[in-house]
């Protein structure tokens, strides 16, 4: 039995995690394993209840879990808050840092059935299938930050150690070996010292993976290439903030941010969450797209070793798209509700498992 900690968070978080749990339970049933779900608070919902976006209890539970599923954090009420104890995002940044979730993986691939939703031309997006390895616990996000005494100057330091670069680069190289042996480092080595250390370190590691063809692009060029010729990419490894920006941009290729899952690997455990935000305007309306969270749940099951179940979920999402059982971001003419999409995917997982057995 595996213990999964669910952190529903804010906005649409509770609804989309409910659907992901529904689908995981269906997969567990169909493939004969047991999952145990526990819950804890994070983000604005924790600020309201506990006065802090990342209560100790949440961290303690996270440390004991085999894997963590997160919905989303953030509410407009807290925009512009200066006190870190009143900033929902601090819950997310806090758990990443505390659990040392240093490697954030964001797969980007097009779905045949929703190609028309992309603002990019079909001939550009055809064949897109890459993955961004974003460093998640270092860089400018976590450096010293502050203001000068007169308040007229602000700073956010960016630093990286060889160790921090090596541990994510190793995972990126391994992924390149599983794919077509192409790795791209996106950096700003023409300007930044941290980027030069990234280049040196990632280049030196190439001798351990001699079959991998390592390439480099400056991040500004990479940002352009991602929408110009996305099919050129396979595995992109990059630092924290570059990866943040590049992954939102990459979601445009697919046509909906509601389709982009993510996995964050750490030393002890891993956390899975959609790449989108908490979409507070849709909260409680049963209209939000649960697919990115359901696909994140598939990555979670894969991480726990339930590969067939994970694959079955991905196939069921494909079927939902093909049969247009989709929320209004994808099928505005005849939208299904959040829970109806979850029901369909859960049932499809079960039905496909039955067919596979016979």
Known catalytic residue: 173? Answer: no
Q: Are 12 and 282 in contact (CB under 8 A)?
A: yes
**Site size toward ligand IPM, by CB under 6 A:** 4
Site string for Mn ion, 226-255 (x = CB under 5 A): ------------------x-----------
CA max distance for the chain: 74
Q: Other CB atoms closer than 10 Å to residue 49's CB: what's the count?
A: 10
Pick from ligand IPM, Mn ion, none: which does 308 bind, CB < 5 to 8 A by kind?
none
- 187 is a contact residue toward Mn ion (CB under 5 A): no
- Read out DSSP for 230-295? GGG-SEEEE-HHHHHHHHHHHHHHHS-GGG-EEEEE-SS-EEEEESS---GGGTTTT-S--HHHHH
- Is 244 known to be catalytic? yes
Question: What are the tokens at 180?
Answer: 């077509």
Nearest distance in Å: CB 29, ligand IPM: 31
Min. distance of Cβ 173 from Mn ion in angstroms? 24
Token pair of 135, please?
């460093």
CB of 210 to ligand IPM, least distance (A): 33
Whether 109 contacts 129, CB under 8 Å? yes
Rounded Cα distance between 42 and 53, Å, is 5
The answer to whether the CB of 183 falls within 8 A of the CB of 235 is yes
Question: Between residue 231 and residue 250, which ones bind ligand IPM under the rule CB under 6 A?
Answer: 244
Cβ proximity to Mn ion, 55 vs 261, nearer residue: 261
Closest residue to ligand IPM, Cβ-based?
Answer: 89
Select the residue interacting with ligand IPM from 20, 92, 219, 313 (CB under 6 A). 92
- Residue 188 falls in the annotated catalytic set: yes
Asked if residue 135 binds Mn ion (CB under 5 A), the reply is no
Size of the site for Mn ion (CB under 5 A): 1
Residue with tokens 């045949």: 112
Residue 276 beta carbon to ligand IPM: minimum distance, rounded to whole angstroms: 9
Other C-beta atoms lying within 10 Å of the C-beta of residue 89: 16
Residue numbers of the site for Mn ion (CB under 5 A)?
244
Residues identified as active-site: 141, 188, 220, 244, 248
Residue numbers of the site for ligand IPM (CB under 6 A)?
89, 92-93, 244
């Amino acid at each position: 039995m595996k213990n999964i900690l669910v952190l529903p968070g804010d906005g649409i978080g509770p609804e989309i995690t409910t659907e992901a749990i529904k689908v995981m339970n269906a997969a567990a049933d169909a493939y004969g394993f047991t999952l145990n779900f526990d819950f804890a608070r994070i983000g604005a919902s924790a600020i309201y209840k506990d006065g802090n976006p990342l209560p100790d209890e949440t961290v303690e539970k996270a440390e004991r879990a085999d894997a963590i599923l997160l919905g989303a954090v953030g509410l407009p009420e807290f925009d512009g808050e200066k006190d870190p104890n009143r900033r929902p995002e601090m819950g997310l940044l806090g758990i990443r840092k505390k659990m040392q979730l240093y490697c954030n993986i964001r797969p980007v691939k097009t779905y045949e059935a929703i190609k028309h939703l992309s603002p990019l031309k079909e001939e550009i997006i055809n064949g897109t299938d890459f993955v961004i390895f974003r460093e998640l616990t270092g860089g400018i996000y976590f450096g010293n930050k502050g203001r000068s005494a007169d308040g007229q100057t602000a700073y956010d330091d960016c630093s990286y150690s060889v160790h921090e670069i090596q541990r994510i680069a190793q995972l990126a190289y391994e992924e390149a070996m599983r794919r077509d042996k192409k790795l791209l480092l996106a950096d700003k080595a023409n300007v930044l010292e941290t980027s030069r250390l990234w280049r040196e370190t990632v280049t030196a590691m190439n001798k351990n993976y001699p079959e991998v063809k390592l390439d480099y692009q400056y991040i500004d060029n990479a940002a352009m290439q991602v929408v110009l010729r996305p099919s050129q990419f396979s595995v992109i490894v990059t630092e924290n903030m570059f990866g943040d920006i590049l992954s939102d941009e990459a979601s445009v290729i697919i046509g909906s941010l509601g389709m982009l899952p993510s996995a964050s690997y750490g030393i002890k455990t891993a956390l899975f969450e959609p790449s989108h935000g908490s979409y507070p305007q849709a909260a409680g309306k049963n209209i939000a797209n649960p697919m990115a969270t359901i696909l994140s749940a598939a990555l979670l099951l894969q991480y726990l070793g339930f590969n067939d179940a994970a694959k079955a979920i991905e196939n069921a999402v494909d079927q939902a798209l093909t049969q247009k059982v989709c929320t209004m971001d994808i099928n505005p003419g005849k939208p299904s509700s959040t829970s109806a999409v979850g029901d369909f995917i859960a049932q499809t997982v079960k039905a496909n498992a039955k067919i596979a057995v016979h």
